[in-house]
Amino acid sequence: MQVYNLKPDEKRHKSDATFEYVVTKGAQEIFKHTETTADMKQTGDQVTIERLLPLASFSPGKYTLEVSAKDALANQSITRTAEFTVKEPATTKTASNSAPGR
C-alpha cells in the first residue's frame, strides 16, 4: 500500500503519520499492529507499506484487514479494508499411499 501527500513539518521536513493494521474475524479482533513514520524510518510525503501477516496462526475462515493512516500534521486520515480467506492446509499423499499395488 502507498500513502501519498503526507504533510511535512516545515522546520524538520518530516511527516508525522500513524498506521494501524487490524485483522478481524467476524466481530473478533485477531491481530492489531500500530507504527509511525518514525518507526518505519520513512519521513517524506509518501510512504510505502509492505507487511507480512502471521497467517499460519490464523484458523481457517474469512477475515477482514483494515489499514488506517492518520496524518497528524494535516489532521487527515484514511482507512481501507480488504477481505481474505485462510484455507485449510493442503494435504499431501505419502509415498506408501501413492504407489499402486501396495
User: Is the pLDDT reported for residue 86 higher than 90?
Assistant: yes
What is the reported pLDDT for 89? 83
Q: Measured on CA atoms in the order 56, 58, 64, 69, is the torsion positive or negative?
A: negative
- 76-100 burial: b if 16+ Cβ within 10 Å, else e: eeeeeeeeeebeeeeeeeeeeeeee
* Higher-confidence position of 97 and 69: 69
Is 49 exposed, middle or buried (CB count within 10 Å of its CB: 0-12, 13-18, 19+)? middle
pLDDT given at position 96: 56
Residue 97 has pLDDT above 60, yes or no: no
The pTM of this model reads 0.78
The DSSP line for 14-61 is -B-EEEEEEEEETTEEEEEEEEEHHHHT--SS-EE------GGGSPSE
Q: Supply φ then ψ for residue 92, to 5 degrees.
A: -115, 145
Give tens-digit pLDDT for 39-82.
988 777 888 888 898 888 999 999 999 999 999 999 999 999 99
Show me where the domains of the chain are located.
2-87
Question: pLDDT averaged over the chain?
Answer: 88
Evaluate if residue 102 carries a pLDDT over 70.
no
